């Protein structure tokens, strides 16, 4: 046996041992799976469909919409953003009174940025980094334009495109910093910031902190109260499997609740929406972060996704997530580095979230070969990242090795050469 074959068979033994003892192994039977041969590694972008959501949505449409009609607002729907928020609070270390579901992550970022800048109104500086998701930065630039009060956004650079340095962050903070805002783990490299430490340093400098946990919630344990985070948002359609476009969550630290004054104000944030009072009186609870009517059919399935994660327990999910990533990186070293791939994520699993990015000059064509004929579904992120999301509730250790194998095949057998560089509208 060659050295590579030997290494590979060792990895296979390791993977099958890990699968045999996996305490979360049975969770994959809770999700819809159309093709057993297909390996889905994009659960960090759109989680799989939980069978419970599939079952319950039919019934919800029939009985709550079809039969209950308007009565369902009072009986079932009015409290749903808060009820699901209460459950989600358990995943991020928040008190139930501090979390609600509303709108999209983009909209919620805007609401909270505007609120934070009003609270810290004497200061004008905002800090983020170049690894942030574009929408997060667009919302900040939009808020700056709209407020027109001389705010400015400083972006910390990244030398390697994978992480940012704490020193650069410390140097950027000063007595004019109003707000710091980061997404973690970062959407391309999967870099997990030092959330607690960075929050503390911001507070020492008198700044408020807004974290975007879109790629963390459901896969990385969070402790927003233990870390004294001021504000947070995150998607529910990624590792929480809420469904395409399901509403996002908002966390507001209880100490700030009375001071938040987001925009746009709307009747759902009113103390008593059904008085139809022409004077706006904000709710004294987290409901004040609502604006308009929630999208009930997209909202209700979030609960089933959150229930699964609560049942699996996020600490166990994280443990498996780290092992899946580490196994992939070992397979990557054994099989893919000689084929021109480079690692685009941290090797240290304490600094890495649930996905691993790999880079290759032919990434886009390889990605097409994978999705169109090799039954491996990752996603592609410009300029040359193939992003592999190892969602622990339905990804096995065996899947991870098989994914590395198919990646190797796409290059070795030159399958990618059939495909073009021309980008599709959605990647």
Ligand X SMILES: *Cc1c(COP(=O)(O)O)cnc(C)c1O
Q: Is 284 a catalytic residue?
A: no
Residue 110's region, left for phi above 0, alpha for psi from -120 to 50, else beta, is: alpha
Binders in 9-48 for ligand X, by CB under 6 A:
none
| Structural contact between residues 179 and 210, judged by C-beta atoms closer than 8 angstroms | yes
Question: How near is the Cβ of 158 to ligand X at its closest, in Å?
Answer: 15
Q: What CA–CA distance (Å, rounded) separates 29 from 41? A: 17
Identified binder of ligand X from the candidate list 208, 235, 260, 377, rule CB under 6 A? 235
Catalytic residue check, 238: yes
Verify whether residue 328 is a known catalytic residue.
no
Figure out which of the listed residues 115, 120, 199, 214 binds ligand X, where binding follows CB under 6 A. Answer: 214
Judged by CB under 6 A, how many residues of this single chain contact ligand X?
13
Catalytic pick from 42, 129, 136, 212?
Answer: 212
End-to-end CA distance of the chain: 39
Active-site residue flag, 78: no
Q: Which of 238, 288, 318, 335 is catalytic?
A: 238
Instruction: List the interface residues with ligand X, window 93-132 (CB under 6 A).
Output: 104-106
Cα gap 375→397, rounded to integer Å? 17
Which of the following is catalytic: 169, 182, 231, 237? 237
Strands (E), 300-350: 342-343
Residue 89 CB neighbour total at 10 angstroms: 21
Find, among 72, 30, 35, 114, the residue nearest to 309 by Cα. 30
Options 287, 318, 359, 387, the catalytic residue: 387
Chain centroid, CA 124 distance in Å: 28
Q: Residue 189, interface with ligand X (CB under 6 A)? A: no
Determine the Cα–Cα distance for residues 324 and 211; give it in Å rounded to an integer: 25
Taking the least distance from each CB to ligand X, the nearer of 105 and 395 is: 105
Whichever of 113 and 331 has its CB closer to ligand X, that residue is 113
Least distance (Å) from ligand X to the CB of residue 260? 19
Per-residue contact string for residues 131-150; x = within reach of ligand X by CB under 6 A: --x-xx--------------
b/e per residue, 266-293, with b = 16+ CB within 10 A?
A: ebbbbeebeeeeeeeebbeebbbbbbee
- Output the smallest distance, CB 368 to ligand X, in A: 22
Residue 79 CB, shortest distance to ligand X, in Å, is 23
Binding stretches for ligand X (CB under 6 A) = 104-106, 133, 135-136, 183, 187, 212, 214-215, 235, 248
Active site residues: 133, 212, 237-238, 387
């Amino acid at each position: 046996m060659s050295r590579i074959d030997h290494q590979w068979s060792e990895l296979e033994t390791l993977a099958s041992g890990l699968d045999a003892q996996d305490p979360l192994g049975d969770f994959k039977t809770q999700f819809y799976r159309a093709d057993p041969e297909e390996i889905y590694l994009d659960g960090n972008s759109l989680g799989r469909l939980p069978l419970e959501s599939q079952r319950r949505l039919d019934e919800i449409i029939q009985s709550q919409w079809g039969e209950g009609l308007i009565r369902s607002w009072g009986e079932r729907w009015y409290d749903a953003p808060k009820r699901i928020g209460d459950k989600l609070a358990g995943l991020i270390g928040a008190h139930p009174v501090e979390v609600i579901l509303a709108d999209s992550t983009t909209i919620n970022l805007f609401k909270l940025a505007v609120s934070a800048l009003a609270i810290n109104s004497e200061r004008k500086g905002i800090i983020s980094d170049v690894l942030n998701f574009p929408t997060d930065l667009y919302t900040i630039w939009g808020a700056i334009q709209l407020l027109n009060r001389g705010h400015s956004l400083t972006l910390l650079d990244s030398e390697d495109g994978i992480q940012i340095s704490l020193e650069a962050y410390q140097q950027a903070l000063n007595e004019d910093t109003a707000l710091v805002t980061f997404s973690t783990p970062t959407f391309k490299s999967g870099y997990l910031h030092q959330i607690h430490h960075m929050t503390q340093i911001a507070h020492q400098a008198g700044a408020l902190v807004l974290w975007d946990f879109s790629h963390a919630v459901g896969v990385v344990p969070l402790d927003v109260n233990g870390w004294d985070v001021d504000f947070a948002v995150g998607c529910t359609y990624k590792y929480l499997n809420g469904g395409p476009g399901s509403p996002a969550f908002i966390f507001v630290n209880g100490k700030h609740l009375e001071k938040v004054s987001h925009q746009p104000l709307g009747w759902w944030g009113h103390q008593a929406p059904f008085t139809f009072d022409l004077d706006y009186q904000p709710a004294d609870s987290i409901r004040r972060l609502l604006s308009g009517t929630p999208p009930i059919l997209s909202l209700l399935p979030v609960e089933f996704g959150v229930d699964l994660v609560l049942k699996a327990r996020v600490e166990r999910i994280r443990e498996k997530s780290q092992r899946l990533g580490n196994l992939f990186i070992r397979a990557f070293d054994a099989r893919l580095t000689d084929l021109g791939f480079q690692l685009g994520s941290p090797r240290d699993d304490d600094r890495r979230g649930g996905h691993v990015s790999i880079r290759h000059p032919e990434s886009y064509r390889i990605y097409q070969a994978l999705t169109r004929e090799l039954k491996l579904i990752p996603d592609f992120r410009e300029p040359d990242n193939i992003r592999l999301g190892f969602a622990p509730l339905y990804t096995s250790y065996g899947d991870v090795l098989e994914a590395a194998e198919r990646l190797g095949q796409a290059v070795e057998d030159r399958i990618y050469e059939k495909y073009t560089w021309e980008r599709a509208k959605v990647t």
